[in-house]
Copies of this chain bind each other. A is one copy, B any other.
Amino acid sequence: MAKVEAKRGLSEERLREFLREMLLIRRFEEKVEERFRAGELPGFLHVAIGQEGVAVGVCQAMEDGDVFASTHRAHGHTLARGTHPNAIMAELYGKMEGCSHGYGGSMHLYDVERGNLGANAVVGGGLPAITGAALAFKLRGEPRVAVAFFGDGATNIGTFHESLNLAQLWQVPAVFVLEDNHWAESTPESQHSPIRDLSKRADAFGMKVMKADGQDVEEVHRVAQRALKHARDGKGPIFMHVETERLVGHYIGDPQVYRDKEQLRELQETRDPITLLREKLGVSDEEFDDADREVQELVDASVEFAKAGTDPKPEDALKNVYA
Which residues does A use to contact B, with CB under 8 Å?
A: 156-162, 165, 168-169, 191-195, 200-201, 203-207
Interchain CB contact under 8 A, B156 and A162: yes
Docked Cα-Cα span, A92 to B285, in Å, equals 80
Tell me the bound Cα distance from A156 to B168 in angstroms: 12
CB-CB nearest in chain B for A161: B161
Residue from B157, B161, B195 within 8 A of A206 (CB atoms): B195
Contact A195 B205 (CB under 8 A): yes
- Are A165 and B169 closer than 8 Å at their CB atoms? no
In the complex, which residues of chain B have a beta carbon less than 8 angstroms from the beta carbon of A191? 169
Q: Is A203 in contact with B206, judged by CB distance below 8 angstroms?
A: no
A–B Cβ pairs within 8 angstroms, 20 of them: A156-B162, A156-B165, A157-B158, A157-B162, A158-B159, A158-B162, A165-B194, A168-B194, A169-B191, A169-B193, A169-B194, A194-B205, A195-B204, A195-B205, A195-B206, A200-B203, A200-B204, A200-B206, A201-B204, A204-B204
Chain B residues near A193: list those with CB within 8 A.
Answer: 165, 169, 205
Residues on the B chain within 8 Å of A160, using CB: 161
Q: What's the Cα separation between A112 and B118 when bound, in Å? A: 47
| Residues of chain B within 8 A of A165, CB atoms compared | 156, 193-194
A-B contact sample (17 more), CB < 8 A, given A156-B165, A165-B193, A169-B192: A157-B162, A158-B159, A158-B161, A158-B162, A160-B161, A161-B161, A165-B194, A169-B193, A194-B207, A195-B204, A195-B205, A200-B203, A200-B204, A201-B204, A203-B203, A203-B204, A204-B204
Docked complex Cα distance between A176 and B204 (Å): 16
Of listed A156, A161, A195, A207, residue having the most chain B CB within 10 A:
A161
Closest B residue to A197 by beta carbon equals B206
Q: A201 to B194: give the CA distance in the assembly, Å.
A: 14
Residue on B nearest A124 in the bound complex, by CB: B158
> Closest 7 CB pairs between A and B?
A158-B158, A204-B204, A161-B161, A168-B194, A195-B206, A169-B194, A201-B204
